[in-house]
Amino acid sequence: MSISFPLRASSAILALTIASRVIAGDIVVVMGPSATAMTRDQIANIYLGRSTVLKPVDLPESSAVRAAFYKKVTNRDADQIKTVWSRLTFTGQGQPPKVLPDAAAIKKVLAADPKAIGYIEKSEVDATVKIVLTVD
Amino acid sequence: MNAAENSFEDTSTMRARMPPQGAGALILERLGHVTDPHLLFPLLAVLILIILWAATLHLIHVERAGAQGTAQTSVRKLLDTYQAQVVRALREIDQTLKVVQFTAETDGNQVALPELQDRSLLPPTLLFTVSVIDARGAVVASTAAVHPATVNDTSYFASLRDRPAANQDIWVDPPHRESKSGEWKLLFSRRMNARDGSFAGVVTETVDAAYFVSGYEPSMLGLEGVLGVLGTDGIFRARRSGDAVSAGETVDYASVVHPGSGGEDLPVFLAANPWDGVRRYTNSRELYDFPLAVIVGVSEQEQLATTSHDRRIYLERAGLASAVVILLAAILGRSSWQLLQSRRLASAAKVEYAERVEYLAYHDGLSGLPNRSLFSKILTRSIKLSRRHQRRLAVLFLDLDRFKQINDTLGHEAGDQLLQEVARRLESCLRDSDTVARLGGDEFVVLLPELGSGEYAAVVAQKILTLLAEPFVLVGQEFRVTASIGICTYPEDGQDEQTLTKHADIAMYQAKEEGKNNFQFYSEKLNANSLERLSLESSLRHALERNEFLLYYQAKRDTASGRITGMEALLRWEHPDLGIVAPMQFIPVAEETGLIVPIGKWVLKTACLQNVAWHNQGIPDLSMAVNLTARQFSDENLLADIAGILRETGMQPSLLELEITESLLINDVNKTLRIMAGLKAMGIRIAVDDFGTCYSSLSTLRQFPLDAIKIDRSFIRDVSSASIAHLHPEKPDLADAIIAMGRSLSLTVVAQGVETKEQADYLRVHACDEVQGFYYNKPLPTEQVTALLQDQKGSG
């Protein structure tokens, strides 16, 4: 009757391979122009809800960039990320990052809020944002 | 013997009575045994084991109780937290539904969600899906990208549609499995009403069932704990143990939650959970606002794992310690026991050895009877007792009469056998209180400590004689042995042990003298004789060493010429106290004791030396006569001794004349002949002394190689009374006959004991060859004899 989470891993890997085929270039983590460089661990902590100093934003779940980002930065797939935020939300320790439809929306939010942090394809980077980490 | 044992028993019984008496002392003595190492160690071990196990079990009990308490407390706290989390999550969902419902009702189904999304009034889409469904069941809006087009066939839609408009309760749908991913989903729903109250559709919010159990903390709940949300319908909305999340199982709600248990009082109970059979400390609580209950449980096994682990370690350690203690106790106990045993054995051996030594020291090895030492002690003791109780006692001194003969003829083994049998017979005829001891050799002594009368001693003595008179069988032959017994009594015959023994001994000698095989009582007179004899005997033994003997010489003269032709050596004893002792007084004793042999040798040697000395002084050759007693004559070494003396002194054998008694010619003729032949071979002359007393016949005399006969002085005395033959020719006298006989056998006839002129004349008339006697010379010491000889020489 019960189905455990680990059984779900195969479908997650399938989703990842599909997504990675779509990604062309590098993904970069960006913030407002006054930001300084950050490490991958710092970014991972932010996106896993361990650090609440900055306000992360996400691309939609259907986004291949999102899947690639999480895979590369946190080494976790979508189900695992969901589990993490599920626990944090249920126990009242946090809320999943705000979901924005595309890179443009992210850049807009970042430009307006120096505490906001997001990830986009490198090709999307412009003067409004500053790269704090390049994910490769 | 029995008396001896009794005396030893006395001391041992006294020792046994020594320990303190009374119950207290007895307990102390018992306790004393506990401190014996071989008992102490096991007892200590048992004590240690009891303490050890009591402490261990107590510790385990305390720890277990503590662990149980901890588990219960922790479950209650976890339930508090979980309840708060679940209620908050539910309220958030309910709040969202209410907001969506209101917005949709007011602004329209289509615009509600985007409007709320813009205002961030919708929950994160990552976890929650919110949908708006119109009255026909069509999904008109949803936060999820993919969703079913209609839900009009679902039970929640139908239920909400059909329920009264006033019922605004949230609908909590039983979990369903999402067809695409297979994940369990929970759906919450509210009914929307149109302004007129009619059914306008429903608002739903869907979330993973796992969301409600995502607070599962393995560090608190373990891998076997449980976190669950159960509907009041008995269907699990979500349940998680470890990483396994499930939903949809139906259980008996009442048995899990207990209805009406909204308060805090519902206890944490330990039971096997009905859904998976795992024993848990479980607590559950029904929620106030929702048809749900929350359940928290921790596995008994996991919670007590540490305790169980500790418990096992404690038990193992206790077991190990017990084994060590038991082993140590066993080793120590065993070695102590062995030590004790070896000590006991050693002391037993020591005691046994001491007893053996004592036994040997106080008993005769052959017969097993008490020996002289023990008898002396027993007698001393008995004398004391008799003195105290004014009783009499008797000492019987017993000596076997022919023991030496048996020993000599049958051998010592037979002699020993005889002594053993005698000992046995003696013991058999005595009372238990009597003592028989062997003093050595064939001497036994009997103590009758409780003597009624002197007759009883005589009765016992007679009984012994009778018993011993029965034949003994030794080396297959029957022998008869008799004994002589001397009896003396306390207090009459002596006051101490030594005197009594000595007097019994004396009485025994008397019995021997009385012809043996009899018993004699001691008397003072016996004692006097014996004492004199004993004194003489012991003095004799020392006389030779002390040079107390000396020789007198009596001249022998030629009857015709009156010249001295020879000497007879005569023994004298110059006793330091008694003066000169005559031979007849001590020769019998010397004969009896055998002292005559060394004395005889001394006489012979001294006489020879003297003769040679005279010869050297220019005195014409003299014969030297020396007396031999019967005992000397039968001495085996006689010939050798004489030859040695002759050689040593340079004495001419032909001048030596040995005088023997006439009795030798009658007894044991063959032996006498043999010895005489030996003497003759050396050239020694042989004379028969005191001839005529034994009535030896002419034919007897003829057998022996004799040289002379000496007429006994009794015949010479007869001629003194003027019975000169020629005056009374009708009365032939014996002296004349002897002279005639001697002459016929060509023997030199010597008359001795010549004391008067008549006798001298008679002998001259009857042509006796030589004379000797007081009429001529009495026996004289050496110097006077020498002077006499010098005179004769001078007179030419």
Q: Which residues of A touch B183 (CB under 8 A)?
A: 3, 8
> Residue B617: pLDDT above 50?
yes
The pLDDT score that the predictor gives to residue B609 is 92
> Residue B622: pLDDT above 60?
yes
**Cα–Cα distance for residue pair B673/B665, rounded to 1 Å:** 9
**Cα–Cα distance for residue pair B697/B712, rounded to 1 Å:** 15
Asked if the bond preceding B174 is cis, omega within 30° of 0, the reply is no
The distance of A59 to chain B (nearest Cα, Å) reads: 11
Do B214 and A91 make contact, defined as CB atoms within 8 angstroms?
Answer: yes
Q: Which residues of A touch B145 (CB under 8 A)?
A: 61-62
Do A2 and B244 make contact, defined as CB atoms within 8 angstroms?
Answer: yes
Q: What is the pLDDT of residues A33-86, one digit of tens each?
A: 888 888 999 999 999 998 888 999 999 888 889 989 999 999 988 889 999 999
Which stretch, B29-43, B342-356, B659-673, has highest mean pLDDT?
A: B342-356
For helices B37-107 and B109-118, the axis angle rounded to 10 degrees is: 120
Residues B517 and B526 sit within 8 Å (Cβ to Cβ): no
Give the pairing type, strands B656-661 and B623-627.
Answer: parallel
Residues B236 and B229 sit within 8 Å (Cβ to Cβ): yes
**For range B583-589, the mean pLDDT:** 78
> Residue A22: pLDDT above 60?
no
CA angle A43, A44, A49 (to 5 degrees): 100
**Cα–Cα distance for residue pair B407/B540, rounded to 1 Å:** 29
Region of poorest pLDDT, from B111-125, B163-177, B247-261: B247-261
The pLDDT score that the predictor gives to residue B265 is 55
The pLDDT score that the predictor gives to residue A10 is 41
Helix (H) or strand (E) segment spanning residue B97: helix B37-107
> Residue B332: pLDDT above 60?
yes
**Cα–Cα distance for residue pair B657/B668, rounded to 1 Å:** 22
Residues B787 and B767 sit within 8 Å (Cβ to Cβ): no
B87 close to A (CB below 8 A)? no
CA angle B52, B56, B57 (to 5 degrees): 120
| Higher per-residue confidence, B527 vs B768 | B768
Instruction: Break chain B down into helix, strand, coil percent, rounded to 5.
Output: 50, 20, 30
> Residue B33: pLDDT above 70?
no
pLDDT-derived band of residue A135, with 50, 70 and 90 as boundaries? confident
> Residue B503: pLDDT above 50?
yes
> Residue B586: pLDDT above 90?
no
The pLDDT score that the predictor gives to residue B6 is 44
The pLDDT score that the predictor gives to residue B307 is 81
Do A86 and B214 make contact, defined as CB atoms within 8 angstroms?
Answer: yes
Which residue from B89, B183, B248 is facing A1, i.e. has the nearest CB? B248
Residue B326 CB neighbour total at 10 angstroms:
16
Give the pairing type, strands B392-400 and B435-440.
Answer: unpaired
Q: Which residues of B touch A99 (CB under 8 A)?
A: 124-126
**Cα–Cα distance for residue pair B42/B30, rounded to 1 Å:** 16
> Residue A24: pLDDT above 70?
no
Q: How far is CA B622 from CA B352, B543, B565, B566, B773, in A?
A: 75, 29, 5, 4, 17
Nearest CA in chain A to B215: A87
User: How many CA atoms within 13 Å lie on the side-chain side of B414?
Assistant: 18
Q: Which residues of A touch B184 (CB under 8 A)?
A: 2-3
User: How many CA atoms within 13 Å lie on the side-chain side of B570?
Assistant: 18
Residue A1: name the closest of B510, B605, B246 by CA. B246
Q: Kindly give the residue spans of alpha helices, DSSP state H, lying in B470-523.
A: 497-513
Which residue from A5, A85, A92 is facing B245, i.e. has the nearest CB? A5
**Cα–Cα distance for residue pair B388/B376, rounded to 1 Å:** 18
**Cα–Cα distance for residue pair B501/B439, rounded to 1 Å:** 11
CA angle A123, A125, A126 (to 5 degrees): 125
B214 close to A (CB below 8 A)? yes
**Cα–Cα distance for residue pair B134/B112, rounded to 1 Å:** 12
Place of tokens 């004559």: B633
Asked if the bond preceding B781 is cis, omega within 30° of 0, the reply is no
DSSP letters for B191-248:
EEE-TTS-EEEEEEEEEEGGGGGTT--HHHHTTT-EEEEEETTSBEEEEEETTEEE--
The pLDDT score that the predictor gives to residue A21 is 45
| Higher per-residue confidence, B695 vs B604 | B604
Place of tokens 């369990």: B184
CA B721 to chain centre: 91
Residues B483 and B400 sit within 8 Å (Cβ to Cβ): yes
| Higher per-residue confidence, A48 vs B13 | A48
Q: What is the pLDDT of residues B710-741, one digit of tens each?
A: 988 878 877 755 455 455 544 457 778 888 88
Do A83 and B145 make contact, defined as CB atoms within 8 angstroms?
Answer: no
Q: What percent of chain B has pLDDT over 70?
A: 90
Q: What is the pLDDT of residues A91-132, one digit of tens each?
A: 988 889 999 988 899 999 998 999 999 999 988 888 889 999
Residue B298: name the closest of B359, B239, B241 by CA. B241
> Residue B205: pLDDT above 80?
yes
Residue B573: name the closest of B546, B605, B593 by CA. B546
B182 close to A (CB below 8 A)? yes
Q: How far is CA B464 from CA A8, B84, B106, B421, B678, in A?
A: 127, 125, 156, 13, 49
| Higher per-residue confidence, B412 vs B297 | B297
pTM of the model: 0.50
The pLDDT score that the predictor gives to residue B29 is 61
B121: its two tokens:
């009034």
Question: Is the Cα torsion angle B19, B25, B29, B35 positive or negative in sign?
Answer: negative
The pLDDT score that the predictor gives to residue B24 is 60
The pLDDT score that the predictor gives to residue B293 is 92
B146 close to A (CB below 8 A)? no
Residues A132 and A38 sit within 8 Å (Cβ to Cβ): yes
> Residue B554: pLDDT above 50?
yes
Q: Which amino acid is at B771?
A: V
B193 DSSP assignment: E
The three-class DSSP label of residue B135 is coil
Mean pLDDT of chain B: 84
Do B243 and A6 make contact, defined as CB atoms within 8 angstroms?
Answer: yes
Residues B4 and B370 sit within 8 Å (Cβ to Cβ): yes
Q: Which residues of B touch A61 (CB under 8 A)?
A: 125-126, 145
Q: What is the pLDDT of residues B439-474, one digit of tens each?
A: 888 889 999 988 777 688 888 899 898 888 888 887
The pLDDT score that the predictor gives to residue B454 is 67
Residues B128 and B205 sit within 8 Å (Cβ to Cβ): yes
Residue A81: name the closest of B209, B129, A31, A72 by CA. A72
**Cα–Cα distance for residue pair B394/B673, rounded to 1 Å:** 52
Which stretch, A81-95, B11-25, B476-490, B701-715, has highest mean pLDDT?
A: A81-95
Q: Which residues of A touch B177 (CB under 8 A)?
A: 3
The pLDDT score that the predictor gives to residue B573 is 87
Q: Which residues of A touch B (CB under 8 A)?
A: 1-6, 8, 11, 58, 61-62, 81-83, 85-87, 89-92, 95-96, 98-99
DSSP letters for A28-96:
EEEE-TT-----HHHHHHHHTTS--SSEEEE--TT-HHHHHHHHHHH---HHHHHHHHHHHHHTTS--P
| Higher per-residue confidence, B658 vs B406 | B658
The pLDDT score that the predictor gives to residue A14 is 44
Which stretch, B17-26, B568-577, B602-611, has highest mean pLDDT?
A: B602-611
Place of tokens 């695992």: A80
pLDDT-derived band of residue B406, with 50, 70 and 90 as boundaries? confident
Residue from B85, B91, B120, B126 whose CB has the most chain A CBs within 10 Å, to mutate? B126
Question: Is the Cα torsion angle B252, B258, B261, B264 positive or negative in sign?
Answer: negative
The pLDDT score that the predictor gives to residue A5 is 38
CA angle B104, B108, B114 (to 5 degrees): 75
Residue from B127, B181, B227, B239 whose CB has the most chain A CBs within 10 Å, to mutate? B127
Q: Computed over its alpha carbons, how large is the radius of gyration of chain A?
A: 15
Do A90 and B245 make contact, defined as CB atoms within 8 angstroms?
Answer: no
pLDDT-derived band of residue B22, with 50, 70 and 90 as boundaries? low
**Cα–Cα distance for residue pair A82/A68, rounded to 1 Å:** 15
Nearest CA in chain B to A6: B243
Do A85 and B124 make contact, defined as CB atoms within 8 angstroms?
Answer: yes
The pLDDT score that the predictor gives to residue B16 is 40
The pLDDT score that the predictor gives to residue B534 is 60
Q: Which residues of B touch A98 (CB under 8 A)?
A: 120
pLDDT-derived band of residue A18, with 50, 70 and 90 as boundaries? very low
- The sheet with strand A27-31 has its strands ordered as A98-99, A55-58, A116-121, A27-31, A130-135
| Higher per-residue confidence, B558 vs B636 | B558
First-to-final CA distance of chain B: 81
Residues B772 and B557 sit within 8 Å (Cβ to Cβ): yes
Q: Which amino acid is at B685?
A: R
B743: its two tokens:
């002459």
Q: What is the pLDDT of residues B270-291, one digit of tens each?
A: 888 888 888 999 988 888 889 9
B411: its two tokens:
């051998």
B569: buried, middle or exposed (CB in 10 Å: 19+, 13-18, 0-12)?
A: buried
**For range B52-65, the mean pLDDT:** 91
Residue B622: name the closest of B770, B428, B495 by CA. B770
Region of poorest pLDDT, from B197-206, B581-590, B594-603: B581-590
Helix (H) or strand (E) segment spanning residue B313: helix B305-362
Helix (H) or strand (E) segment spanning residue B134: strand B128-134
Q: Which residues of A touch B125 (CB under 8 A)?
A: 61, 99
**Cα–Cα distance for residue pair B175/B206, rounded to 1 Å:** 10
Q: How far is CA A130 from CA A66, A134, B479, in A?
A: 19, 11, 150
> Residue A2: pLDDT above 50?
no
Q: What is the pLDDT of residues B413-437, one digit of tens each?
A: 888 888 999 999 998 888 888 899 9
The pLDDT score that the predictor gives to residue A4 is 38
Partner A, chain B 294-353, Cβ-Cβ below 8 Å: none
